[in-house]
Amino acid sequence: MYKVNDNDKALFDQDGFLVVDRLIAADSLPPLHRAFDDLFHGHFETGVRPDEVNWQAATGDPDLTRQICNGWKANRQIARVVLDAGLAKNIATLGGWPGVRIMIDNLLWKPPATKSLGFHQDSAYLAWFTPSDLLTCWIALDDTRADGGTIEFVRGSHKWQPGVPEGEFHAPEDYRKPMRDAAAREGAEPEIVYVEVKAGGGSFHHGWTWHGSGANASPNPRRALVLHAMRSDVEYQPQNFGQGIGPIYSRYKRLGDNLLDENYFPILWRQDGYRTPQLDDYLDG
């Protein structure tokens, strides 16, 4: 398992992202490819449906990026990656956090000729919990290249003023427009960096870093497994449930307090050694 070092932390703080050549082992890729096939064909190993199923083989628009959120609840192969304690510790190190919970995972699949995903800031959608810090690990399951619709970051854009959600996410006419508008407000000239890595590599990025991806103009698919992580000490902000994706994940709020239930937002790693006890039994199946 890759381990973050002091130089990585300095680069992350400076740029708002960090590109890593190897995040998962090569022999884990074929099982993950099979898991993607299963999930996008409606086969849920655990019997639990993911929280968001935005594309299925029988009904999905072939021009759009395929997306599922919280595949970890439906497939243990996905879960073994996104619930990994070592990965979470790396995130905590980059964020300077006391611990890490999974907020959601994303399964993103761009076959050839699939359209773009609009530029955005993840944290703009997250007023429903506090502290609303977010840090994301993006894992390439195929070799990536600039013309293949890989993820793009704007260097240093996490230091820009926080924005609000705007524009279309799936297949916008101009996928970089919200970012260019934000850059103009900052008086900044955006420097775009493409994440070009072999399968198994990827990146980490800050919740306020502007990012998106263009159309897949290559002959190869671009699959990515994404962990969106939050601090272990977050709480719900009920007054903001109507914002961002709050209407979806507020359904797990407990009666009587604002604590996030570990059944739905488990703690993956914490400085004191704690990890949600049920996780390892779940992963063992």
Q: What is the pLDDT along the chain (285 residues), one digit of tens a residue?
A: 799 999 999 999 999 999 999 999 999 999 999 999 999 999 999 999 999 999 999 999 999 999 999 999 999 999 999 999 999 999 999 999 999 999 999 999 999 999 999 999 999 999 999 999 999 999 999 999 999 999 999 999 999 999 888 888 899 999 999 999 999 999 999 999 999 999 999 999 999 999 999 999 999 999 999 999 999 999 999 999 998 899 999 999 999 999 999 999 999 999 999 999 999 999 998
**CA atoms within 13 A of residue 231's CA, in its CB half-sphere:** 17
Owner of token pair 């996030």? 260
For each of the domains in the chain, give its residue range(s) and CATH number, in order of start.
Answer: 6-284 (2.60.120.620)
Strand partners, 170: 117
Q: Which residue, among 222, 281, 259, has the nearest Cα to 130 in the 3D structure?
A: 259
Q: Which residue, among 183, 190, 181, 104, has the nearest Cα to 152 in the 3D structure?
A: 190
**What are the strands, taking DSSP E only, across 82-175?**
99-110, 117-120, 129-130, 135-140, 151-154
Strand partners, 130: 235
- Report which residue type is found at 242: G
What DSSP character marks residue 232? Answer: T
Cite the DSSP H helix spans in 145-234.
177-186
User: Which sign, positive or negative, has the C-alpha torsion 81, 75, 226, 26?
Assistant: positive
Q: Which residue, among 18, 110, 38, 23, has the nearest Cα to 78 in the 3D structure?
A: 38
- Report which residue type is found at 78: I
Both tokens of 265, joined, read 């937002």
| Contact status, residue 131 vs residue 181, Cβ threshold 8 Å | no
Both tokens of 32, joined, read 């993950």
Q: Which residue, among 165, 170, 152, has the nearest Cα to 209 in the 3D structure?
A: 152
Cis check: omega of the bond before 131, within 30 degrees of 0:
yes
Both tokens of 232, joined, read 């272990």
Residue 59 phi/psi, 5-degree rounding, is -130, -15
Instruction: Write down the pLDDT at residue 166.
Output: 82
Cα(176)–Cα(167) distance, rounded to whole angstroms? 10
Give Rg (Cα) of the chain. 18
Q: Is 20 helix (H, G, I), strand (E, B) or coil?
A: strand
